[in-house]
A and B are shown apart, each in its own frame.
Chain A
Amino acid sequence: MAPPAAPAPRLALTGIRKAYPGVLANDDVALTVEEGEIHALLGENGAGKSTLVKIIYGVLAPDEGEIRWAGRPVRIASPNAARQLGIGMVFQHFSLFEALSVLENVALGMDGEKNWQALAGRIVEVSRAYGLPLDPTREVHELSVGERQRIEIVRCLLQAPKLLIMDEPTSVLTPQEVDRLFLTLRQLASEGVSILYISHKLHEIKALCDAATIMRGGKVVAHCDPKVETARSMATLMVGSNFAAPEKPAKRLKRAPRFQVNALDLESSEAFGTSLKEVSFEVRAGEIFGIAGVAGNGQTELLAALSGERPVEAEAIIIDGNRAGALGPRARRGLGLAYIPEERNGHAAIPDLTLAENALLSAFDRRALLTNGVIRFARASAFAEEVIERFSVKATGPDARASSLSGGNLQKFVVGREILQAPNVLIAAQPTWGVDAGAAAAIHQALLDLATHGVAVLVVSQDLDELLVLTDRMAVINGGRLSRPLVTGEATLEEIGLLMGGLHDLPDDIPAVETAAVNQHVQAL
Chain B
Amino acid sequence: MVRLEPRAEISPVMRWLTPPLAVILTIIAGAILFLAMGYDPARSLRAFFIAPLSSAYGLAELGVKATPLILIATGLAVGFRAGVWNIGAEGQLTLGALAGGYVGLLFWGQAGWFILPLMMIAGVLGGMAWAAIPAFLKAKFDVNEILVSLMLTYVGLLLLSALIYGPLRSPEGFGFPESRMFSPSAQLPNLIAGTRLHLGAVITGVIVLIVWFLMSRTLFGFQVTVIGQAPAAARFAGFSRSRMIWISLMMGGGLSGLAGLFEVTGPIGQIVPTISPGYGFTAIIVAFLGRLHPLGCVLAGLLVALSYLGGENAQITVGMPQAVTGVFQGMLLFFLLAADVLVRYRLRVGKPAPALIPTRGGR
Contacts and interface: CB of A to CB of B under 8 A. Distances in A.
Direct A–B touching, Cβ under 8 Å:
yes
Given A61-B353, A375-B217, 10 more contacts: A45-B361, A50-B359, A50-B361, A50-B362, A309-B235, A330-B237, A330-B238, A375-B222, A403-B8, A404-B8
B280 to A, nearest CB: 30
Interface in A316-332: 328-332
A352 B10 contact: yes
Interface in A359-402: 360-362, 364, 370, 373-375, 401
A93 interface: yes
B360 interface: yes
A348 interface: yes
B9 A361 contact: no
Nearest to B352: A61
A350 interface: yes
A495 to B, nearest CB: 30
A347 B220 CA distance: 19
B357 to A, nearest CB: 9
Given A309-B235, A404-B8, A407-B362, A361 B226 contact: yes
A439 interface: no
Given A18-B355, A375-B218, A346 B232 contact: yes
Contact of B237 (A46, A329, A404): A329
A350 B233 contact: yes
Contact of B359 (A48, A329, A357): A48
B361 A434 contact: yes
Interface string B212-245: 0000011110100110011011011110100000
B232 A343 contact: yes
B240 A328 contact: yes
Contacts of A344: 363
B340 interface: no
A339 B232 CA distance: 13
Interface of B: 5, 8-10, 217-220, 222, 225-226, 229-230, 232-233, 235-238, 240, 352-355, 358-363
Nearest to A361: B237
Nearest to B353: A61
Contacts of A61: 352-353
A361 B225 CA distance: 11
Nearest to B9: A401
A45 B226 CA distance: 29
Kindly list the 10 A-B residue pairs having the minimum CB-CB distance in the complex, ordered from nearest. A330-B238, A329-B238, A50-B360, A50-B359, A347-B232, A45-B361, A434-B363, A346-B230, A309-B235, A350-B230
Nearest to A372: B218
Contacts of B355: 18, 20, 25, 51, 60
A481 interface: no
Contacts of B238: 308, 328-333
Nearest to B361: A45
Given A329-B236, A329-B238, A373 B226 contact: no
Most interface-central of B10, B353, B355 (chain A CB within 10 A): B355
B29 to A, nearest CB: 31
A222 interface: no
23 contacts: A18-B355, A20-B354, A21-B5, A45-B362, A50-B359, A50-B360, A50-B361, A61-B353, A93-B360, A309-B235, A309-B236, A328-B240, A330-B238, A341-B232, A341-B236, A344-B363, A347-B230, A348-B233, A353-B225, A364-B219, A374-B217, A407-B362, A434-B362
Contacts of A364: 219
A46 B219 contact: no
Interface in A27-64: 45-46, 48-51, 54, 60-61
